[in-house]
């Protein structure tokens, strides 16, 4: 006789226990497999649901950074920085808070985003803010929020002033859209990431909350607060590296420096959320390939991922799938349905004609 199914209480207790243990083995699929082996289908399903909920929550939380004394003693922002009046807070991250600002020197009307470093980090992280300003200065792209100005406030806090983007996170903005429209939105963001990579900049914190879509459907990539200039050696081994755990690669979780491969991993996670339940076999395979555990199994660049997404949009075979003849044949039929249908009809017509001719020949009376 089969064992009775575990009670809901037992399922919840076991799933929570496993979640705590799995957190210690993030990025190690074999250890995960060992932990889940032998668990009931109900427990495995509840673990998956809890992990999905945690990923959604992590996308909405600020980037994780080092916890420092005095973090809860941040004074209010200054009334103004430069020619801008500081208004309401619109976001907060690991190193700074972002406020809406409005120009009030009488020259012209302008709304901006003002990022102020946390007061308790001014000494230790001021250099990182300088790095962010240098990075943004080299990133002139239509899908990257533009740097306008920067400096130090009267109370000694570094700041910089950014283009204000009135938009929603890309996963929210894409809700209700067909899958191809969602993919095209994502490609806008991916092209901005690829541009940053060509300027030797790794974003290091890609997630839906850092990719906004405005009312006209334009995508803007923002928050290069923990970005790295690739190969500049500015990240000391002992220096804590902020990250968003739900979108960080196993290599980032292990403490390695941000890289192009890490951005590709985060793009895969983001694509998965953007597509949601609209993903098919090919688009899901693209997202999986981008977030492979080993760097060598991922796309080599954002451009390679974009190329595969465009092939998917054109109903062509994608690199994320095994290269088999029947897969290629199926994709050919998918994108050439009219031609295949016409050939099939023509083939049937020829067959019918041959059969008719044969029947008529058989019926014709023989002479001689």
Annotated catalytic residues are 205
- DSSP codes, 81-118: ETTEEEEEEEEE-SSEEEEEEEE-SSS---EEEEEEE-
Residue 17's CB is within 10 A of a number of other CB atoms, namely: 12
Q: What is the per-residue burial (b if ≥16 Cβ within 10 Å, else e) of 338-353?
A: eeeeeeeeeeeeeeee
Give yes or no for a contact between 91 and 171, defined as CB atoms under 8 angstroms apart: no
Alpha-carbon span 123 to 128, nearest angstrom: 10
Which residues, listed in sequence order, are joined to residue 31 by a DSSP beta bridge?
none
- DSSP codes, 194-257: HHHHHTTEE-S--SGGGEEEETTS-EEE---TT-EETTS--S-TTS---B-GGG--HHHHTTPP
Give yes or no for a contact between 224 and 136, defined as CB atoms under 8 angstroms apart: yes
Rg (CA), the chain: 27
Alpha-carbon span 223 to 261, nearest angstrom: 19
Residue 54's CB is within 10 A of a number of other CB atoms, namely: 14
| Percentages (nearest 5) of helix, strand, coil residues in the chain | 50, 15, 35
Alpha-carbon span 110 to 163, nearest angstrom: 9
Q: At what angle do helices 29-36 and 8-23 cross, to 10 degrees?
A: 160
């Amino acid at each position: 006789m089969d064992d009775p199914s575990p009670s809901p209480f037992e399922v919840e207790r076991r799933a929570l226990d496993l979640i705590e243990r799995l957190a210690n083995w993030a990025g190690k699929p074999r250890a995960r497999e060992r932990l889940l082996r032998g668990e009931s289908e109900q427990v495995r399903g509840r673990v998956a649901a809890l992990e999905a909920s945690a990923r959604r929550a992590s996308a909405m939380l600020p980037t994780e950074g080092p916890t420092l004394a005095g973090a809860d003693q941040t004074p209010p922002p200054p009334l103004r920085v430069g020619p801008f009046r500081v208004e309401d807070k619109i976001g907060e991250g690991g190193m700074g808070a972002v406020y809406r600002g409005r120009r009030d020197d009488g020259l012209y009307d302008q709304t901006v985003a003002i990022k102020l470093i946390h007061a308790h980090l001014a000494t230790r992280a001021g250099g990182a803010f300088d790095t962010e300003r240098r990075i943004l200065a080299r990133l002139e792209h239509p899908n990257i929020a533009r740097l306008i100005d920067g400096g130090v406030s009267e109370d000694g806090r570094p700041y910089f002033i950014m283009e204000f983007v009135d938009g929603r996170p890309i996963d929210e903005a894409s809700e209700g859209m067909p899958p191809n429209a969602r993919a095209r939105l994502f490609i806008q963001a991916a092209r901005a990431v690829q541009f940053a990579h060509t300027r030797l900049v790794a974003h290091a914190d890609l997630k839906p909350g850092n990719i906004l879509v405005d009312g006209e459907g334009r995508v803007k990539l923002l928050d290069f607060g923990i970005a790295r200039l690739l190969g500049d050696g500015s990240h000391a081994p002992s220096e804590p590296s902020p990250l968003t755990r739900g979108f960080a690669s196993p290599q980032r979780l292990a403490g390695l420096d941000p890289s192009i491969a890490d951005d590709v991993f985060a793009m895969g996670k983001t694509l998965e959320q953007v597509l949601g339940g609209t993903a098919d076999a090919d688009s899901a395979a693209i997202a999986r390939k981008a977030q492979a555990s080993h760097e060598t199994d991922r796309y080599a660049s954002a451009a390679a991922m974009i190329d595969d997404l465009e092939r998917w949009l054109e109903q062509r075979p994608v690199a994320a799938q095994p290269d088999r003849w029947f897969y290629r044949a199926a994709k050919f039929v998918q994108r050439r349905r009219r031609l295949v249908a016409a050939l099939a009809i023509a083939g049937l017509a020829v067959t019918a004609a041959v059969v008719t001719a044969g029947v008529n020949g058989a019926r014709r009376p023989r002479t001689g």
